[in-house]
Amino acid sequence: MSTFQPVRGTHDLLPDDFRRHKWVTDTAQEIAERYGFDEMTPPVFEFTPVFARTMGETSDVVTKEMYTFPDRSGEEEMTLRPEFTAGICRAFASNALYDQAPFKVFARGPLFRYERPQKGRQRQFHQIDVEIIGVEGPQADIEVLAVGQHILEALGVAQDCKLLLNTLGDPESRAEYRDILIRHLEPHKAELSAESQERLHRNPMRIFDSKSERDQEIVADAPLLRDHLNDTSKAFFDQVLDGLTGLGIDYTIEPGLVRGLDYYTHTAFEFVTETLGAQGAVIAGGRYDGLIEQLGGRPTPGIGWAGGVERLAMMAGDGRARRRPVALVPLGDAAQAEALVIAQDLRRAGYMVEMGYSGNMKRRLARANKANARAALLLGDDELAKGVATVRDMETGEQTEAPIASLAEHLVQYR
């Protein structure tokens, strides 16, 4: 066994795993493209305040999970991206893309959080992400939820997922509710976990997210934000719900859903599943109308979500199978040289070609079987003399001869 092992919380994406990941991300990109989302990617690391300021100084991600380090100059602090939204919004603001609104983008790639590794959760993990920046009305909320639902359907996992929805209201509603919630929780402060005590006056809604059983008992009878929404917030949420109903997208309103980051407002949501063990989110997001302003940009509304590729890949299973190749089996030096030319011509014609490099005919055909080849092209001195290749159907064993000059046309049935 090698002395060197992967760092805890990371894993090698070997070909089978990578194929499943690629199928998830390619499917998501193709569906998002139908909705008008262009693909982009922000840098894999940013100045730390991009994440610390936008995600909330008291959020778990900032206080416990970010991979942060000084750069070589010692003058700046950097952080490996723990999520996409802040980086995309930073890119929108720093590139002054306001005239491109609505700015609709899809992203995919690795992210980094220091978490306890567990099923479907790693320290280096991968996400797909969609964002709509610059749309103030609920139409954007409906669209990002619709594209999420569509992707789950395309992956064949929608039946195993449930959409949970809540509204966090506008800033006015949240400010009023914040005071009401603090008054309710203050008499129980000593019973709250240390983490929730710290959050009580900074961001009391985050206590709904607490993993502490006692915290959950205390907030169980807390007043709900939905009972303290102003008319604007109620109308906004009602339009989102009406839009989802019109599209035939089922949902469940979950009053305790507040999301883990500080920049959300109005719509918050999660697509959750129980197929991976305990209920967990596979897609989650919400509206963040104040985020770009926090980054020093102009006030610009936005909404988006991120989906966990590892979790979606586990749910989707094998997904799209690996393409079946054509195997080239040359015997002899002359055939080996000719096979290189044939392989290149077939690849340019769109075929996937596996080359049998060494060994006798039996061993090379065994490797072709292992590669799940659809057909094998046998090429020896006799074939070269006649200008043909022997084509063996690897499923039926039937053999035919085909002119080398027209192999691409002859092999169409095996593409």
- Nearest alpha carbon to residue 40 among 54, 29, 51: 29
State how far the Cα of 41 lies from the Cα of 109, in Å rounded to an integer. 8
Q: Which helix (H) or strand (E) holds 268?
A: strand 265-273
Of 352, 314, 323, give the one whose Cα is nearest residue 20: 314
Residue type, 332: G
CA distance 173 to 240: 18
Looking up tokens 């001869």 gives 401
- Cα separations (Å) of 54 from 50, 137, 205, 259, 294? 6, 22, 17, 14, 6
Which helix (H) or strand (E) segment holds residue 130: the answer is strand 124-133
Residue by residue, pLDDT tens for the chain (415 residues) are: 457 888 888 889 998 899 999 999 999 999 999 999 999 999 999 999 898 876 665 566 666 788 899 988 888 899 999 999 999 999 999 999 999 999 999 999 999 998 776 665 689 999 999 999 999 999 999 999 999 999 999 999 999 999 999 998 888 888 888 889 899 888 888 888 988 888 888 778 878 877 888 888 888 888 888 888 999 999 999 999 999 999 999 999 998 787 655 567 899 999 999 888 765 899 999 999 988 988 889 999 999 999 999 999 999 887 666 788 999 988 888 988 999 999 999 999 999 998 876 777 788 888 888 888 999 999 999 999 999 999 999 999 999 999 999 999 999 988 7
DSSP class per residue in 50-111: HHHHHH-TTSHIIIII--EEE-TTSS-EEEE-S-SHHHHHHHHHHTT-GGG-SEEEEEEEEE
Edge-to-edge strands of the sheet including 265-273?
Answer: 38-39, 103-112, 124-133, 302-308, 280-287, 265-273, 161-167, 252-253
- Confidence (pLDDT) at 133: 97
Helices 15-34, 139-154: inter-axial angle, 10-degree rounding: 140
Q: What is the pLDDT of residue 358?
A: 75
Q: What is the pLDDT of residue 60?
A: 63
Which two tokens mark 328?
A: 């080239």
pLDDT score recorded for residue 278: 65
CA distances for 326 relative to 321, 339, 343, 412, 415, angstroms: 15, 12, 9, 11, 8
Q: Which two tokens stand for residue 95?
A: 């590139």
Domains and CATH numbers, the chain: 15-170+230-316 (3.30.930.10), 326-414 (3.40.50.800)
User: What letter represents residue 271's amino acid?
Assistant: F
Maximum pairwise Cα distance, the chain: 95
Helix (H) or strand (E) holding 407: helix 407-410
- Residue 2 confidence (pLDDT): 58
DSSP string, 359-398: S-HHHHHHHHHHTT-SEEEEE-HHHHHHTEEEEEETTT--
Q: How far apart are CA 210 and CA 264, in angstroms?
A: 17
CA 11 to chain centre: 17
Q: Which residues contact 1 (CB under 8 A, 6 or more apart)?
A: none
User: Which amino acid does the sequence have at 78?
Assistant: M
Report how far residue 219's alpha carbon sits from residue 196's, in angstroms, rounded to the nearest whole number.
11
CA distance 376 to 364: 10
CA proximity to 139, closest of 270, 51, 246 = 246
pTM of the model: 0.83
Distance CA 54, CA 70 (A): 20
Q: Give the list of residues 6+ apart from residue 56 with CB closer than 8 angstroms, or none.
A: 62, 203, 261, 262, 263
Report the alpha-carbon distance of residue 143 to residue 303 in Å, rounded: 10
